């Protein structure tokens, strides 16, 4: 993940309009990023100027970190969270996010099929074109196919495993109602997943949700026009695209 530098739009708003444009964009991203309008995006780009990438990343932190905390608190009990961001992170927010992207795939408490279903559900909810066009090689090698992946759209009455259905229910809650995690949703996951699996799920949803930045800025174009692209993750966390199954 690197800072995005989209072109400056014509007719950038005046300084007095900057805050309004940023707040409107942030509110829409938080509520439903797939519904960001071209007008909201253009106004945000004009307000942010050359700092658009950094500002979009900062808005993601404000949006999603509270969701992650709420989910972990619901599963493990209220924790003691720092009041401020670690000062050691400094100005390199993108570097910190890159570390997040690279570290989480190394977790292996969840099986590759469940992890891929969680990723695809988030991709559908955020309507990320690139994410929806990808398929995990480990999940495919573990026996998943297109019928498995399609089940994320109707998982509640699917033949997916009970753990997968509980994980997808929790994924939806993190995305749509993070401030109101239903006890049944929490208990449903806790009753089927180990503590390590629960934490990994929350971190998977968090990492996957970085696609909100690309979707918000219309930088989520797929690499393929038809079908899907197979990907995998290297031990260092870097992504490999355009792979074959074997």
Does any domain span residue 110?
Answer: yes
Per DSSP, 156 falls in state G
**CA-to-CA distance for 205 and 223, rounded, in angstroms?**
22
Q: Is residue 8 part of a domain?
A: no
Residue 4 falls inside a structural domain: no
Q: Is the pTM of this model over 0.85?
A: yes
Residue ranges making up the domain that contains 104: 15-243
Q: Residue 156: how many CB atoms within 10 A of its CB?
A: 10
Residue 5 lies in a domain: no
Give the 3-state secondary structure of residue 229. Answer: strand
* Number of domains forming the structure of the chain: 1
Task: List the CATH number of the domain containing 168.
Answer: 1.20.1290.10
Per-residue pLDDT of the chain (246 residues; tens, 9 = 90+): 333 333 344 444 444 567 899 999 999 999 999 999 999 999 999 999 999 999 999 999 999 999 999 999 999 998 888 776 555 555 688 999 999 999 999 999 999 999 999 999 999 999 999 999 999 999 999 999 999 999 999 999 999 999 999 999 999 999 999 999 999 999 999 999 999 999 999 999 999 999 999 999 999 999 999 999 999 999 999 999 999 998
Order of strands, sheet of 239-243, starting from the edge strand that comes earlier in the sequence? 134-136, 229-233, 239-243
CA dihedral 124, 78, 180, 67 (to 10 degrees): -30
Q: Does residue 129 lie in a domain region? A: yes
Collapse the DSSP code of 219 into the 3-class scheme (helix H, G, I; strand E, B; otherwise coil) and give the result.
coil
The answer as to whether 184 is a domain residue is: yes
2 assigned to some structural domain = no
The answer to the question of residue 239 being in a domain is yes
Helix axes 52-76, 38-48, angle to 10 degrees: 110
- Helix H or strand E encompassing 162: helix 162-176
């Amino acid at each position: 993940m690197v800072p995005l530098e989209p072109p400056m739009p014509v007719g950038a708003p005046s300084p007095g309009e900057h805050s309004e444009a940023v707040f409107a964009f942030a509110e829409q991203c938080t509520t439903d990023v797939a519904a960001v309008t071209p007008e909201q995006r253009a106004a945000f780009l004009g307000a942010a100027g050359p700092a658009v990438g950094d500002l979009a990343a900062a808005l993601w932190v404000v949006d999603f970190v509270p969701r992650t905390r709420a989910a972990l608190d619901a599963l493990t009990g209220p924790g003691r969270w720092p009041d401020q961001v670690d000062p050691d992170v400094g100005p390199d927010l993108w570097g910190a996010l890159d570390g997040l992207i690279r570290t989480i795939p190394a977790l292996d408490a969840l099986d590759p099929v469940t992890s891929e279903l969680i990723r695809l559900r988030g991709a559908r909810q955020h309507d990320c074109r690139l994410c929806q066009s990808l398929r995990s090689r480990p999940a495919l090698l573990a026996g998943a196919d297109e019928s498995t992946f399609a089940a994320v759209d109707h998982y509640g009455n699917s033949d997916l495993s009970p753990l997968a259905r509980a994980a997808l229910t929790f994924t939806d809650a993190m995305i749509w109602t993070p401030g109101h995690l239903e006890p049944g949703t929490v208990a449903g996951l806790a009753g089927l997943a180990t503590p390590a699996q629960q934490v990994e799920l929350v971190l998977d949803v968090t990492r996957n949700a970085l696609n909100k930045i690309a979707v918000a800025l219309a930088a989520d174009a797929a690499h393929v026009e038809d079908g899907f692209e197979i990907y995998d993750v290297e031990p260092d966390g870097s992504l490999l695209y355009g792979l074959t199954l074997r």
